[in-house]
């Protein structure tokens, strides 16, 4: 059951990373023009969303939940990066561009394109894949009263 819940958390984290991360990168890029004044509200909103996405990724990467919670987004990011390296037009066709979609998804698509082209999706994919390799993450958790190495009278 722990791994099923971890899988569901991984799906939510993947969506949060792709939509939230892509949207925040696009907002930050649009808030800081090459010349002229900076749009401070857009910049702070984008930085706040990026910090929230980073916090969620950090909790998933080191938290005491199933390793599937970090495995699902890592495989999505790494596979998209590999497809981008081998067949760029196919990888770019995944990015939402249809005008009938919501504006947030279109903005997130622009940010995802920037993250994909710079290789940050590959970096994040490897970062999220490393906790999957730790054997202690796959071991079952003990309840509070089930410690095997502690005697009934306590430590000496």
| Stretch 69-97: mean pLDDT | 90
| Stretch 130-145: mean pLDDT | 73
Q: Give buried/exposed letters for 102-131 (b at 16+ CB in 10 A, else e).
A: eeebbbbbbbbbebbeeeebbebbeebbeb
Is the pTM higher than 0.85?
A: no
Location of structure tokens 């730790």 = 134
Token readout for 63 is 């938290």
| Residue 151 forms part of a structural domain | no
| Residue 42 forms part of a structural domain | yes
Band the pLDDT of 108: cuts 50, 70, 90.
confident
| Residue 29 forms part of a structural domain | yes
Give the CA radius of gyration of the chain.
Answer: 20
Query: What is the per-residue pLDDT across 3-62, written as a single tens digit (0 to 9) for each?
Result: 888 899 889 999 999 999 999 998 888 887 777 777 778 888 889 999 999 898 888 888
For residue 156, what is the enclosing H or E element?
none
87-96: Cβ within 8 A, 24+ apart: 91/116, 92/116
Give me the domain span that covers residue 116: 2-138
């Amino acid at each position: 059951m722990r791994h099923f819940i971890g899988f569901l958390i991984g799906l939510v984290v993947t969506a949060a990373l792709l939509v939230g991360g892509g949207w925040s990168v696009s907002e930050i890029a649009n808030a800081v023009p090459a010349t002229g004044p900076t749009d401070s509200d857009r910049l702070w909103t984008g930085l706040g969303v990026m910090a929230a996405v980073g916090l969620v990724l950090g909790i998933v990467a080191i938290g005491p939940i199933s390793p599937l919670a970090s495995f699902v987004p890592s495989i999505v990011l790494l596979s998209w990066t590999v497809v981008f390296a081998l067949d760029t037009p196919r990888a770019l066709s995944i990015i939402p561009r249809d005008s009938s979609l919501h504006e947030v998804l279109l903005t997130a698509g622009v940010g995802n394109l920037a993250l994909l082209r710079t290789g940050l999706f590959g970096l994040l994919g490897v970062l999220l894949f490393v906790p999957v390799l730790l054997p202690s993450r796959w071991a079952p958790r003990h309840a509070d009263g089930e410690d095997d190495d502690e005697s009934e009278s306590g430590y000496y």
